[in-house]
Amino acid sequence: MFTTHDPIPMNLFDSHCHLDKLDLAPFGESFDVFMAAAFTAGVRRMLCVAIHPERWQAMAELVSPYVIASGNRPQVWLSFGIHPTEAPEYALDAEAIVAFVQASQYRTHIAAIGETGLDYFRSGEAEHWQHERFRAHIAAAIELKKPVIIHTRAAAKDTMDVLKSENARDCGGVMHCFVEDWDTAKKALDLGFYLSFSGILTYKTAADLRETAKKAPQDRILLETDAPYLAPVPHRGKPNTPIFVRHTAQVLADVRGESLDVVAEYSTANTCRWLNLPLPA
């Protein structure tokens, strides 16, 4: 039978999602039903990102049945931080992040720190508390020897300056939901960082981003959904889930002239290397 697209690879890794925020209505309001559907759709690994300290523990508990590898369900790793637009003025220092991670019963499943970064979209300018929190996350990541997840919006120059001045090269990290220009991509790559592409890559208006994705080195590319946000075409505007990561993978394959299988294989291998996880067999 002829299909326009390759069969769905069975080894996709959604490197950034918010599993405590999904719309579970299509899955009978059941997190377990959703996870089974994700496994069937080839999403075998996910990194679940917490964005507010008051929800860290609840999120860890929600995904806890999935942190151990099992034959027929996705495996989940965790990242803890406070999003740059979340709870303005809320102070979070490096010690608090380190203490939480070290005391957590899920410690061995915590693979990254964040998301953190700078977002001037609403403020239109630098805000001191965002910078403080950003630096705290980097310091915690260096101390914990875990990579950091970076969110940047309307603040590319300052974001890269802080990463440099705070020695983020020492922990490594990812530019999550990457939408910046090639110059910023190069700066991130020079710091040893990865670039993660989300559903934005599939949007009609994202021609420049697709050019960047075409030029990016194959061993630095990650895929993510940022679910429940930013659903890729053809689901744009609807609640996103990790199941849709394959649409972004397909567009990446198309623009780079690679097969979907090849994209799945290297993006999963890259994510494992980035998070210091064993490579899938």
CA 106 to chain centre: 19
Name the segment binding Zn ion (CB under 5 A); options: 6-14, 156-164, 166-174, 219-227.
Answer: 219-227
Stretch that binds Zn ion, among 23-31, 69-77, 125-133, 224-232 (CB under 5 A): 224-232
- 158 binds Zn ion per the rule CB under 5 A: no
| Element at 236 (helix H, strand E) | none
Return the number of the residue (50 or 253) whose C-beta is nearest Zn ion: 50
CA distance 35 to 260: 22
Cis bond leading into 74, ω under 30°? no
Query: Nearest to residue 181, comparing CAs of 213, 150, 159?
Result: 213
Q: Which stretch binds Zn ion (CB under 5 A): 66-74, 160-168, 226-234, 257-265?
A: 226-234
Please identify, among the stretches 52-60, 70-78, 136-144, 225-233, the one whose residues bind Zn ion according to the rule CB under 5 A: 225-233
Which of 226, 240, 243, 245 touches Zn ion (CB under 5 A)?
226
Phi-psi region of 24 (alpha: psi -120 to 50; beta: other; left: phi over 0): alpha
Nearest alpha-carbon partner for 146 in 115, 177, 123 = 115
Q: How far is the CB of 231 from Zn ion (least distance, A)?
A: 13
Rounded least distance, CB 28 to Zn ion, Å = 25
**Which is nearer to Zn ion, 51 or 253 (by Cβ)?**
51
CB of 203 to Zn ion, least distance (A): 17
Q: How far apart are the first and last CA of the chain?
A: 30
Smallest gap from Cβ 16 to Zn ion, in A, equals: 6
Output the DSSP codes for 245-280: HHHHHHHHHHHHT--HHHHHHHHHHHHHHHTTPPPP
The residue (of 16 and 210) whose beta carbon lies closer to Zn ion is 16
Closest by CA to 41, choosing from 74, 81, 84, is 74
Give the pair of three-digit tokens for residue 160. Answer: 């890269």
Min separation Cβ 221 and Zn ion, Å: 18
119 or 226: whose CB is closer to Zn ion? 226
Does position 224 interact with Zn ion (CB under 5 A)? The reply is no
Long-range contacts of 255-258 (CB under 8 A, 24+ apart): 255/210, 255/213, 255/214, 256/213, 256/214
Beta carbon of residue 99, minimum distance to Zn ion (angstroms, whole number): 23
Q: Which is nearer to Zn ion, 160 or 174 (CB)?
A: 174
User: In the complex, what is the shortest distance from the CB of residue 85 to Zn ion, in angstroms, rounded to a whole number?
Assistant: 10
Query: Residue 15 region, left (φ>0) first, then alpha (ψ -120 to 50), else beta?
Result: alpha
Contact set with Zn ion (CB under 5 A): 226
